[in-house]
Amino acid sequence: MWLLLRRAYPLRILLPLRGEWMGRRGLPRSLAPGPPRRRYRKEALPALEVPVSPVTTTEIRQYLRAHGIPFQDGHSCLRAPSPFVAPSDIKNQKKDATTSFCLFIDKTTGHFLCMTSLAEGSWEDLQASVEGRGDGAKEGILLGEGPEAEDREEVLRIWNRAIPLWELPDPQETQLARVMFGLTKVTDDTLRRFNVRYLRSTRSLVFPWFTPGSSGLRGLKLLGVEGQENGVQYVETTIPRPGVYHNLFGLPLIGRRDTEVVLTSRELDSLALSQSTGLPTLSLPRGTVCLPPALLPYLEQFRRIVFWLGDDLRSWEAAKLFARKLNPKRCSLVRPGNQQPRPLEALNQGLSLPRILRTALPAWHKSIVSFRQLREEVLGELSNVDQAAGVRWSRFPDLNRLLKGHRKGELTVFTGPTGSGKTTFISEYALDLCTQGVNTLWGSFEISNVRLARVMLTQFAVTRLEEQLDKYEEWADRFEDLPLYFMTFHGQQSIRSVIDTMQHAVYVYDVCHVVIDNLQFMMGHEQLSTDRIAAQDYIVGAFRKFATDNSCHVTLVIHPRKEDDDKELQTASIFGSAKASQEADNVLILQDRKLVTGPGKRYLQVSKNRFDGDVGVFPLEFNKSSLTFSIPPKSKARLKKIKDDNGLVAKKSSSGKKGSAHQNSETCIGQDPCQPDTSPSSRHKN
C-alpha cells in the first residue's frame, strides 16, 4: 500500500491527529455561554500569490478522460477507481461499483477521499499521484493507522470506564440521567443499537465514532449538562479535536441499499428519529455550524436527504445552506414550528414524527410563481421576529436597538477618521458575534494577523495579558476554540484572489461573516481603468454579489474622504462614489470628536439600516487596558437609570459628576447627530 507525497504538500489522512481533550486541561472546561457549546479550531486560509481560478467540474472530467480514468457522476462528487488501494485488496472483495469506484472527488474543490484506504488530499495532490511526479514520493505509509497514541489511550480509557445506562447499579441514577438528557421515552434497545454509553464520573453521555467498514474506535463525543436559569444547556467535548472529528453518528447502521436518510444536528435527535420512524438517521458532528466537505462522500448513496436540524430560524438557514453542498434537488427541509419541534422534543410530546417528516419541503424549486410558495416563509419570520432579526450582540446592546441583529446575506460598510480606532472597534464587533458561534473570516490587509490576533485575544480576555503571562495558555486555549479564521493576505491584493478565498471559506468552513479591512488595499491591483472610482464601484459590486449569492454577511471597511477636523462624517464622506452607500444594507460611522470635545469622545452612528430603517447614534468609551469599546474603565462611577417627567429613560452618575460615555446611549438613539442636542443629559454633558 503506497501513497505519494508532494514536497510541502503531503496528502493528509482522514484520521484523528493529535488533539486537545478536556482530560488534559481539566474536566470539563468552561467556555462562554451559548446553546449548545462546541469546540472549534481556527485556521489560516492560504494566500493566493497570483489570481488562480478554482478547478471546475468540467476541468476535472476532462482531466480524468485524458488519462483514461473511468468515472461516475454523482450528486456532489465524482467516483473513480482509487490508485491508493492495492489490486489484491480489490480482488479479495466482491467486485462492484462500491468497491472498485471508491475514490470520491469533490466537484467544487477537487478534494478527494478514498473510502477504502481513507487517504485524502487536494486536487493537485491527486494529479501528482496520477502522473507519478513529486520529489517527496515515499512508500510504506500505512493508511489504516488509528489515532495517535495519546488520543488512542484517552479514547480507550474513557470508553472502558463508560457503561450502558441500563447497567447503572442505582435505578435512581439511571432515571436522573434519562431526565437530564430527555431520554425518558428512548428505549434501551435504541441506545444499545447506537452503542451509547454513560460516564458516571462526569455525568456525560458518550457517543462513539467507529471507523467506516469496521468496528475500530476512532474517537468520542461527550455530552454533558449544565443548569441554567431557564433550563439546561448541553456542553459538547470531542476527542480528537473538532477540526478532525468527522463523525457521522449512526453511520455503521447504514446499509448499502439505503437510499433515504434524515440528517439531524444532535445525536439525541437521531436516537428519537430512528426509534420512531425506523429510517436511517445520521447526526452532523458540528450541528448547525458546519458541514465539512470531507463528509460528502458518505452521503453520495442517498437519493433523498431530509434535514431536520432544529426548531429555530438559525437551524432553518443552516439546512438551506447545507442543501447547496449536497445538491438541493435531492434535499428536503423540515420547517421549524410550534407543532414541528426538534425530533427528541417531538417524541417526548407524543407527536407523530413520521407525519412531520411527510411535511418536509423541497429545498429546490425552479421559480417562485405566486405568494403561495412564500407564505410559509413569511409566516416563519412573523412568528419569530427576534430570530429573523439575526444574531444579537452581547457587548453592544445599543447596536441591537438600532440594527436589531446581525443577518446573513447583507453588506455592511464601516468608516471612520484615520486613527479613530476603526480596526480595534470592528475586531471587537466581529469577536462578539464569533463567540456566539458565527463562523468568521478576517481579511486584514493593513495589519498583520499576529497583531490582529493579539488585539482580539486581549479583547476576549478583557485584560492585559502581557501583565499576566501565567494566564496566557488558558485564554489562548479558549480563544483557539472560536470559529475564527484568517486570510494570510497582507498589502495590496486583487479582488479576484480575495473572492476566491472567501468562496473557499464559505464552502469548506461554512463561514457566514467576512470582515475586509480595508477596501483601499484592493484598488491598486485592478486594471479595469485608470479611474479609481470605477475600480471601487467594481469591487463594491463584487462584494455585494458575493454576500447575496452565498448568504454571507460582508463587513467592508472603507476610509473616508478628507474632511475638516471640526466636522462630523456623513454617509457622503465615504471615499468614492455613492455606490458603496447605495449597495450597503447598513452604514456604520465611527465618529471621533476629540478635537471638539476633548480626547476620547467617540460614538457610533448608524446612518443606514435597510432592515427596518432605524438610525441613530450611541456613545463609545475606549478602555485602553482591555482594548474594548464595550466595557468602560472601572474607575468610572456606577450609573443609575432615572425617569424624567415625560417618562423617558436618562442616565447619569450617582455622584452627580460626568458619568461614563454610556450615559446617553438611550437618549441619543434616533437623534440626528448633525443637530444640536438639547436633552437634559446633553446640557449636563456639555
Say whether pLDDT at 170 is over 50: yes
Q: Where are the alpha helices (DSSP H) in 636-677?
A: 665-668
Residue closest to 267 by CA, chosen among 161, 195, 213: 195
Mean pLDDT of 284-308: 93
Say whether pLDDT at 128 is over 90: no
Helix (H) or strand (E) holding 377: helix 375-383
Say whether pLDDT at 140 is over 70: no
Model pLDDT, residue 587:
93
- Omega before residue 327 within 30° of 0, cis: no
Ramachandran sector of residue 372 (left: φ over 0; alpha: ψ -120 to 50; beta: rest): alpha
Residue 309 CA to its chain's centroid (Å): 15
Helix (H) or strand (E) holding 515: strand 513-517
Say whether pLDDT at 299 is over 90: yes
Model pLDDT, residue 37:
45
Say whether pLDDT at 618 is over 60: yes
DSSP 8-state code for residue 329: G
Mean pLDDT of 239-258: 89
492 or 550, which is more confident: 550
Mean pLDDT of 608-620: 89
Mean pLDDT of 211-224: 83
CB proximity list for 382: less than 8 A, separation 6 or greater: none
pLDDT confidence tier of residue 145, bands split at 50, 70 and 90: very low
Neighbours of 629 (CB within 10 A): 24
Across-strand partners of 521? none
pLDDT winner (highest mean) among 1-10, 44-53, 207-216? 207-216
Model pLDDT, residue 149:
66
Out of 81-85, 121-125, 573-577, pick the least confident: 573-577
404 or 675, which is more confident: 404
Mean pLDDT of 229-242: 83
Say whether pLDDT at 135 is over 80: no
Model pLDDT, residue 524:
59
Model pLDDT, residue 323:
92
Model pLDDT, residue 644:
40
pLDDT winner (highest mean) among 86-95, 143-152, 312-321, 350-359? 350-359
Count Cβ atoms within 10 A of the Cβ of residue 603 and give its class: 0-12 exposed, 13-18 middle, 19 or more buried.
Answer: buried
Q: Read off the pLDDT of residues 355-385 as tens digits, 9 standing for 90 and up.
A: 999 989 888 765 555 565 566 667 766 777 7
Count Cβ atoms within 10 A of the Cβ of residue 558 and give its class: 0-12 exposed, 13-18 middle, 19 or more buried.
Answer: buried
Out of 107-116, 153-162, 401-410, 567-576, pick the least confident: 567-576
Rounded Cα distance between 362 and 169, Å, is 47
Q: How far apart are the first and last CA of the chain?
A: 78
Say whether pLDDT at 593 is over 60: yes
pLDDT winner (highest mean) among 342-346, 413-417, 517-521, 629-633? 342-346
501 or 229, which is more confident: 501
Say whether pLDDT at 234 is over 70: yes
Q: Read off the pLDDT of residues 12-35 as tens digits, 9 standing for 90 and up.
A: 333 333 333 333 333 333 333 334
> Cα separations (Å) of 232 from 219, 236, 268?
26, 13, 15
Neighbours of 196 (CB within 10 A): 23
Residue with cell 484506504: 117
Residue closest to 551 by CA, chosen among 321, 221, 306, 395: 321
Model pLDDT, residue 460:
93
Model pLDDT, residue 242:
81
Length of the chain in residues, anyone? 686
E-strand stretches of 98-230:
103-106, 112-114, 120-121, 138-139, 197-199, 204-210, 217-228
Say whether pLDDT at 473 is over 50: yes
Tell me if residue 257 falls in helix, strand or coil: coil
CB proximity list for 428: less than 8 A, separation 6 or greater: 395, 456, 459, 627, 628, 629, 630
Residue with cell 463561514: 511
Model pLDDT, residue 130:
86
Residue closest to 428 by CA, chosen among 629, 215, 584, 137: 629
Model pLDDT, residue 61:
92
**How much of the chain, in percent, has pLDDT values that exceed 90?**
39
> Cα separations (Å) of 459 from 121, 391, 400, 660, 664?
36, 20, 20, 19, 24
Mean pLDDT of 154-167: 93
Say whether pLDDT at 515 is over 60: yes
